[in-house]
Amino acid sequence: MAEQVCVNNEKKNERTGAWLNAYARKVTSQYGEDGIIEKVLEVIGTGDKWCVEFGSWDGRKCSNTYNLIATKGYSAVLIEASAKRFVNLKENFRDNDKVICLNEFVGFEAADNLDVILGRTEIPKDFDVLSIDIDGNDYHVWEAVKVYRPKMLVIEFNPTIPRKVEFVQPRDFRVTQGSSLLSISKLGKSKGYELVAVTKNNGIFVDSKYFGLFGIDDNSLEVMWTDESFITHIFCGYDGTIFVRGYGKSPWHLIRLKESKMQILPRWAIKRVGDRNFLRRKLGRFCRRLLKEE
């Protein structure tokens, strides 16, 4: 039985901005995206029953499309760059002639972007669902898609970045930092997409021509994304002490951020500026000059 991962006490006919989260349900997805995707497709209406996902891993692990393929009869293009994982992907779908498995690297240049790769297949230009989860350059890969226009899109963001912060990692596959939901949402608007739901680390967008069907008056991040469980807050006392509150660690490496390691002032200088004596003020100016030169 599919695991119910989200409980919302609102009546389903009371559509607040985040009403789709009440339908969160996990089959193979990480945080209930399976159920939300089903509901979004129901609201949009009849589609072409095609989906695309990359990196697909083995087609099941943390997949946002496996449920559509296995239970809804969807055709799919599943793309995995790793040769080792691709073996498992192909094996899992060897008896399904509706699934096209590709061992490809999806990039953002003219020779390797998604438009080029999908252009070798029969998939329609406005297929139903696109899932992007590549732990880093998700923003740049979506930005490079110009020809194909999926009806809905599930895209990973970095959930440690607060909702008011714009951050886009460098356009470089040697870097794996991820981008903020705010920056990805702004990219979506520029491409004619609107945010309709947010899970722990995925934003779910629809083509703006379908947005009115969802009855969402306010899809600002303040309304749509209320889960701050991965957010770390860093702030400074009047005396210069640095404090760390909130999640306080890397969710991937599980290394805690220690306040003792983050202090930028020596112990003798931790005082409110107005409370320092002559010697401390002199030493403080010297210390600031050193810090600026580093």
Q: What is the pLDDT of residues 124-161, one digit of tens each?
A: 999 999 999 988 999 999 999 999 999 999 999 999 99
Give residue-wise pLDDT tens across range 84-136: 999 999 999 999 999 999 999 999 999 999 999 999 999 999 999 999 998 89
Q: Is the alpha carbon torsion for 138, 142, 148, 153 positive or negative?
A: positive
pTM, full prediction: 0.86
Closest CA to 191 of 156, 140, 157: 140
Whole-number pLDDT of residue 276 = 53
Residue with tokens 């979004």: 40
Structure tokens that stand for 26 in this block: 């996990």
Whole-number pLDDT of residue 200 = 94
Domains of the chain: 19-224 (3.40.50.150), 232-293 (no CATH)
Q: How many secondary structure helices (H) and strands (E) does the chain include?
A: 10, 9
Helix (H, G, I), strand (E, B) or coil at 65: coil
What is the C-alpha separation between 248 and 226, in angstroms, rounded?
18
What DSSP designation does 256 have? B
- CB neighbours of residue 84 within 10 Å: 9
Query: Would you place residue 17 in the very low, low, confident or very high pLDDT band (cuts 50, 70, 90)?
Result: confident
First to last CA, the chain: 58
Closest CA to 183 of 171, 68, 71, 60: 171
What is the C-alpha separation between 18 and 163, in angstroms, rounded?
15
What is the C-alpha separation between 205 and 94, in angstroms, rounded?
31
- Residue 201 pLDDT greater than 70, yes or no: yes
What DSSP designation does 171 have? S
What is the C-alpha separation between 88 and 180, in angstroms, rounded?
31
> Regarding beta strands 75-79 and 99-102, do their DSSP bridges make them parallel or antiparallel, or are they unpaired?
parallel
- Residue 56 pLDDT greater than 70, yes or no: no
Give me the chain's average pLDDT, please: 88
Using a CB cutoff of 8 Å and minimum separation of 24, what contacts does 244-250 make?
247/160, 250/160
What is the C-alpha separation between 134 and 80, in angstroms, rounded?
10
Structure tokens that stand for 74 in this block: 């969807």
Torsion angle, alpha carbons of 57, 133, 142, 173, to 10: -80
Whole-number pLDDT of residue 122 = 95
